[in-house]
Amino acid sequence: MMNVPLNISSMMERAEKYFPKKEVITRTPAGVKRHTYREIGERTRRLASALQKLGVEQGDRVATFAWNSHRHLEAYFGIPGLGAVLHTVNIRLSSEHISYIVNHAEDKVMLVDSDLLPLLENVKDELKTVKAYVVMTDGEVPETSLSPVYSYEELLAEGNPEFEFIKDIDENSAAGICYTSATTGNPKGVVYTHRGIFLHSMALGLVDTAAISEGDRCMAVVPMFHANAWGMPFAATWFGSSQVMPGAQFTPTILAELIESEKITLTAGVPTIWLGLLKELEENNYDTSSLRAVLCGGSAAPAAMIKAFEVKYGIPFLHAYGMTETCPIVTASTLKSYQTDLPEEEKLAIRAKQGLVVPGLEIKVVGQNGEVNWDGEEMGELLIRGPWIANEYYKDERSKEAFRDGWLHTGDVATVDDEGVIKLVDRTKDLIKSGGEWISSVDLENGLMAHDAVFEAAVIAIPHPQWQERPLACVVLHEQYKGKVTKEDIIEFLTPLFAKWWLPDDVVFLDEIPKTSVGKFLKRALRDQLNEHFQIQ
C-alpha cells in the first residue's frame, strides 16, 4: 500500500477545506472572540511564513509561552507546518526550570502571551538561544525589557495567507517537544513526531476512547503546555469539532459559564479542576446538559467525584490515564457491553479504575516474579510500548532508566483485574511501605474523598521505627465543616473500608494541599511542609 508520510499539517488542511464555517472560540478580557477554521487556517499559514522570515528553519525549535487560545492553536500547526518543532513551555514552572528548558531545547523564537511577559523578563538574561520574542495580544504590545520584540498580529498582517505547509517531511521527524513538569531534578524533554501525534489523534476519535467527532464542542481546560492539552487541539481540528479556549486566569465560575453558554459537549482536565467545578455547581445553578463527557486524567479520579458528577448532575465522566511520555493517552475506562447491567456501585468501581489499554498500544504490569496475575491484587510496574510512546528523553542521560528493552518503564504501580483493566495503585515513590507490605495512598485518598466533609485529601508516608513507614492523611475540609469534623470521625469513616493496618496513623487538617504546576497534589512539598512535625526524612 501507499507509504504516505503521516504529517499533522494535513489536519489543518482538512479543517480549512471541509469545515471552514466551524469555529474556534477564545475567552479574552474583552469578551469571547470567534474565528472560523477558514480564518484560523489562513492565520496559521501567515504565521508559518512570518516565522520563516524571522529565520526559523526546518528542525528549529519555536517555543510558546501561553494560555489556551486560538493563537496557541495557530502555533500548534504553524510551527510544525514549516517543519519546525513546537515547544510548549509550561508557564507555571520555576524561573530556573523555564530557563533550563528553553536553553536545553535551544529555542530560537518564543511566542509569548502579553500578560506573561513579566515571567520571561525575570529570566531574559539566562535565555541564551532566543533570537526573537513575538508578543500575542489583541491590543498594543506592552513596554518590555525583552528584545528584539515583534507583534504577533503585525507579523501575521505581513505574512503570506497562501503559505504551503511542508509536504516532504519524514513522518518520524519532530513536530513538538514538551518537558515533564518534574517533581525532582530538571524537567525531561519528550519529542513528539508527526507520526506519533497523527496516530494518537486517531485514537482520540475512537468511540471507546474519547470519541471526539465533528459534532463535539471541545473545551480543553488542561493547558496546551501540558502534554499538548492531551492531544485534543490536534484531534478536534482534524475532525472539524468546534473548540472553546478558556484563555487566561480562568476560574470554576468561568468554566461553568462557558459550559453553559458555549454548549460544551466534551471537556478535559485534571481532578483538581473538576473538584473546583463541582463546588461551583453545588453553589450556583448552571445548565450543563450539553456535556456528553468530562474527560479526567493526570491523577486518579476519586470514585466519589465521578459519582457526584454523574448522579447529582447527570454529567457523564470518563477517566483516562497517560503521561507526557505517551502523547498522552494510554488507557480509558469504559464498561464492556456485558457489564452495563451490573449494580451501580460495581460499575462505578470499574470506571474509577484507569481502564483498558487503547487500541494501538501494548502494556504489561511486571512484579517481582514477572508479569503479575490478572487478579486485581498483585502489584507491579506498568510498562508501555507503541507508536505514540517516546523512546527516549531529549538529550538526557536519564533515558536509560525509563526506556529499557523496548518498553517505557512508567514508575507507576498497577494491578490488572480479570478483564484486563488496570488500576493505578501509586507512583513507585508514593507507595507506603508498611512492615514489608504496600499500602496504596491513592486508595486511601479515594476513601477519604468519599466523606461528605472532605474537599481534598492526600496521603503520604511518615517514617515509623517499627513499620518503616505509616500513612498520614492530609485533609482539606469544606468550609462549613471546618472545626466540626475530628480526626476520630475521619478514621471511623475509613474503618469499614480498609484493613486495620491500612488506616492512617494520624489525620492533619490543612487549608490547602500544595499542587504541581499542572494542578496535581505535590506530595514532596507536603512532606517538606510536615517534615518538622513528623520528622519525615
For 27, the 3-state DSSP assignment is strand
412 binds ligand ADP (CB under 6 A): yes
| Cα angle 364, 410, 334; round to 5 | 60
Give the span between the Cα atoms of 409 and 11, in whole angstroms. 31
324 binds ligand ADP (CB under 6 A): yes
| Cα angle 523, 334, 224; round to 5 | 50
Label residues 421-449 b or e (16+ Cβ within 10 Å = b): bbbbbbbeebbbebeeeebbbbbbbbbbb
> Cα dihedral angle (260, 264, 265, 270), rounded to 10 degrees?
-100
180 binds ligand ADP (CB under 6 A): yes
Task: Name residues contacting ligand ADP, limited to 425-464 (CB under 6 A).
Answer: 427
For residue 82, the Cα-to-chain-centroid distance in whole angstroms is 26
520 binds ligand ADP (CB under 6 A): yes
Minimum CB separation of residue 147 from ligand ADP in Å reads: 32
502 is catalytic: no
Cβ proximity to ligand ADP: between 40 and 270 the closer is 270
227 binds ligand ADP (CB under 6 A): yes
Give the span between the Cα atoms of 244 and 369, in whole angstroms. 48
433 is catalytic: yes
Q: Among 26, 68, 299, 440, indicate the residue that binds ligand ADP (CB under 6 A).
A: 299
Range in contact with ligand ADP (rule: CB under 6 A) among 69-77, 142-150, 250-258, 317-325: 317-325
424 binds ligand ADP (CB under 6 A): yes
137 is catalytic: no
Cβ proximity to ligand ADP: between 41 and 233 the closer is 233
Range in contact with ligand ADP (rule: CB under 6 A) among 72-80, 163-171, 493-501, 512-520: 512-520
379 binds ligand ADP (CB under 6 A): no
303 binds ligand ADP (CB under 6 A): no
Q: Among 73, 110, 281, 323, indicate the residue that binds ligand ADP (CB under 6 A).
A: 323
CB 382 within 8 A of CB 410: yes
Give the x/- contact pattern for ligand ADP in 258-297, rule: CB under 6 A: ---------------------------------------x
CB 531 within 8 A of CB 508: no
114 binds ligand ADP (CB under 6 A): no
Cβ proximity to ligand ADP: between 385 and 427 the closer is 427
Annotated catalytic residue, options 16, 23, 74, 325: 325
| Beta strand spans in 323-427 (E) | 329-332, 356-357, 362-367, 370-371, 380-385, 403-404, 407-416, 422-427
Contacts of 494 (CB under 8 A, 6+ apart): 444, 447, 448, 503, 504
Write down the residue that cell numbers 468554566 correspond to: 255
Cβ proximity to ligand ADP: between 297 and 504 the closer is 297
Contacts of 341 (CB under 8 A, 6+ apart): none
Q: How far is CA 467 from CA 20, 148, 432, 434, 470, in A?
A: 63, 59, 10, 5, 7
238 is catalytic: no
Q: Among 114, 354, 434, 446, indicate the residue that binds ligand ADP (CB under 6 A).
A: 354
- Residues of the shown chain interacting with ligand ADP in the complex, contacts defined by CB under 6 A: 180-181, 227, 297-300, 319, 321-324, 354, 410, 412, 424, 427, 516, 518, 520
Question: Residues with catalytic annotation?
Answer: 180, 325, 433, 438
